[in-house]
Structure 1
């Protein structure tokens, strides 16, 4: 079969169609490299692409060449040594293809073929990460978030503290008051001055000295009244008034809580990691700042780093309430609900001491849920549910809008469960 490859460039000189064909053709190699990268990287290091190497033997492409038979005439420009009909000696070493020693192998001639390497973009990398989950494009959508109060200016008032005084508005009020208070006095002064000038300009026989003296006294009194108008008065002062205004929080913290008891296998942890990763990417699309807190527990709970969270071999029994108690303490100490949107994702296989499950229920209802934005619990097990699941069902009935729980059996269940958990927050494709 003959293949025709379209190398016509699209915008920015990239052949997008051919790139998609290339990714599809070498999907097996790319998928393997992406899976290795996911296991190697941290959850927060999923925002860059990945370099992928493919053995050179797997990238050969069909080419056109002359078939056997037929008559050909070849003219080599600048040939001074050979004429038509001359026989050319075979090169030393046999064939005319050189002395290659194989695909990517070492040889004493220093020749060989390197593996073909190329880079995946962030979008392509994430597409392979969630391959099989049928992940749609998430559109930015406003979330219902907890609000913090911020004091903002809300007009002016006549009362306030000096630090909030509006100088510009106070001077404007003072200027308007001076104009208003001086205007009638200035009119009276002008009338008195005109009357005095008229009286002085009269014939000496008709002048009235008593009236002239009275007018001069009136003018002096009016000038003193004008000068007595204060430059600024307490009546003129204006102060900025502050009012509380709710501000949506732009930062979130995601708590990853996982059971690491002896019943949690590495496969369970890998499934949990995919779920935590999906939730982290979802939150990152809606908040400017997202912090991660990892809490692992068996009979006791500890806050750890991501590497220890997923790959530590420490095991033991199971007391889930130890993790919830530690979680509540971390929130009170570092993440006040008025400033942070709090999300919790818990992964477990469902095992727990029977007496402890009721304690977990009470901790969630009385302490944690009033502070949290959302709580997602996934139980990774193909078996029947145990006491922890049944107690969590009581919490879900009490906080139906903010508490969700689902069961996972294999990696392919992750996205359908995620979509169900966050269906109120996902936009309709």
Structure 2
């Protein structure tokens, strides 16, 4: 086994020993990951290397300029080719990289979630099997098997044992009216006209062969339509135009699972460093998760103090302002952004907001809640980040929670420290799963 094989083996061991996902979300360095790649530290022993024995300062291998503890260098090829130089692998053995799709699967397993996103936008229509049925169509698509079955059912429903009914006409004292009533009671599908014609054609001396109907039924065997068909076969089947059905292909709609995530965060003066870090620690895994769940994920980042403005992802987690707070300004901007580019008929929508629950007077009740109700979304969520516990003016989360207590598309979570982050993520995603 060569050194490269050893290195690969240590990589595999490292992947198995990577940091626990929940621990990484709560306390790990999320900043080393990108939007499309999650880098999780590996708990792994150092790779083996050769060192010189302290007791042996000389001898073979003590090259000029070498320091104690230096790894032995690899022999250089005679032709000066630098391929294979030590260190070309870099330090990638220190992290386990997963894409958002793998991250979503891992988080589902760890939290016990089973979110099944639905597609909305139809991107392609294809013809499937000829399983659908219509009343008109080209003769080449006529469903003859169905036509035959319908005709056969009609024949069996209309067929009856003519000889048996004629014997009933030979009961003394019975005429067509009595036989017809009897036949109806016996579920024999014979018409009044057929009975009258049969009676008229019957010699008069045969009309009193049986003293009673009981004597006739005891002496004459009744043969069902199914028995007669098995014995005699079928000479003709009464096809009718209304029985015709034509097959046409099922139209299969391929839907793309599109999602737009609107992330809103308070950047007012009260949002200190610790609060900002809790927002990042909560929103970043949610972004990875939804990106991994959907075919196409887009993100809108909105920062606000008393006013709101759109920012990019890098600015979203680092920006800071000294202004006051008016949360409704962010929802007004979110509504405009969604209506302009992400119609509800084609996009799954998530609107996530976070802050310390401080808001200007009456803004939550008068504006934010009506805006949340007016913005169609798979899920609205608010995350309160308040490391020191609830402040006197921090009532926004409570007001939202109280108003939407019976709603299945609104979640409110409280994060007082890193240890609450995973619970908050579960609260949000499990609410979406139920809705």
Indicate the TM-score class for this superposition, using the shorter chain for normalisation: 0.5 to 0.7
Q: Is the aligned partner of 1:408 residue 2:415?
A: yes
Q: Which residue of 1 aligns with 2:80?
A: none
Structure 1 unaligned runs (5+)? 1-6, 69-89, 105-112, 159-165, 177-237
Q: Is the aligned partner of 1:99 residue 2:65?
A: yes
The 3 A distance-change label for structure 1 pair 331 and 319 is same
Once the two structures are superposed, the pairs formed by residues 141-290 of structure 1 within 5 Å of their partners are 141-143=115-117, 155-156=133-134, 158=136, 169=138, 172=140, 250-290=257-297
Larger mean CA deviation between 288-297 and 387-396 belongs to 387-396
User: How far apart, in 2, do the equivalents of 1:40 and 1:364 lie?
Assistant: 36
Residue among 333, 341, 350 paired with 1:343: 350
Structure 2 unaligned runs (5+)? 71-85, 145-244
Task: Give the conservation status (yes or no) of the 8 Å contact 2:141–2:248.
Answer: no
Task: Give the conservation status (yes or no) of the 8 Å contact 1:146–1:373.
Answer: no
Q: Which residue of 2 aligns with 1:384?
A: 390
Once the two structures are superposed, the pairs formed by residues 272-421 of structure 1 within 5 Å of their partners are 272-364=279-371, 366-368=373-375, 371-381=376-386, 382-384=388-390, 386-398=394-406, 400-421=407-428
Q: Is the aligned partner of 1:39 residue 2:31?
A: yes
SS of corresponding position for 1:397: coil
Q: Which residue of 1 aligns with 2:429?
A: 422
Task: Give the conservation status (yes or no) of the 8 Å contact 2:276–2:317.
Answer: yes
Query: C-alpha deviations, 1:26-71, integer Å up to 9, x for none?
Result: x9xxx9xx966x43655x2325x5899x9xxx76769898999xxx
Task: Give the conservation status (yes or no) of the 8 Å contact 1:296–1:303.
Answer: yes
Query: C-alpha deviations, 1:332-382, integer Å up to 9, x for none?
Result: 1111111100011111011111221212344245412xx110112110003
Taking only aligned residues, the RMSD between alpha carbons, in angstroms, comes to 5.3
User: How far apart, in 2, do the equivalents of 1:406 and 1:173 lie?
Assistant: 58
User: How far apart, in 1, do the equivalents of 2:426 and 2:341 lie?
Assistant: 30
Task: Give the conservation status (yes or no) of the 8 Å contact 2:379–2:432.
Answer: no
Query: C-alpha deviations, 1:141-191, integer Å up to 9, x for none?
Result: 524676879988865565xxxxxxx8xx37x599x9xxxxxxxxxxxxxxx
Number of residue pairs matched? Answer: 298
Query: C-alpha deviations, 1:285-344, integer Å up to 9, x for none?
Result: 321111111011111111111122222233311000001111111111111111100011
SS of corresponding position for 2:352: strand
TM-score, normalising length from structure 1? Answer: 0.54
Q: Is the aligned partner of 1:14 residue 2:9?
A: yes
Task: Give the conservation status (yes or no) of the 8 Å contact 2:331–2:372.
Answer: no
User: How far apart, in 1, do the equivalents of 2:378 and 2:354 lie?
Assistant: 18
User: How far apart, in 2, do the equivalents of 1:270 and 1:349 lie?
Assistant: 12
Shift of 1:281: 2.1
Shift of 1:282: 1.9
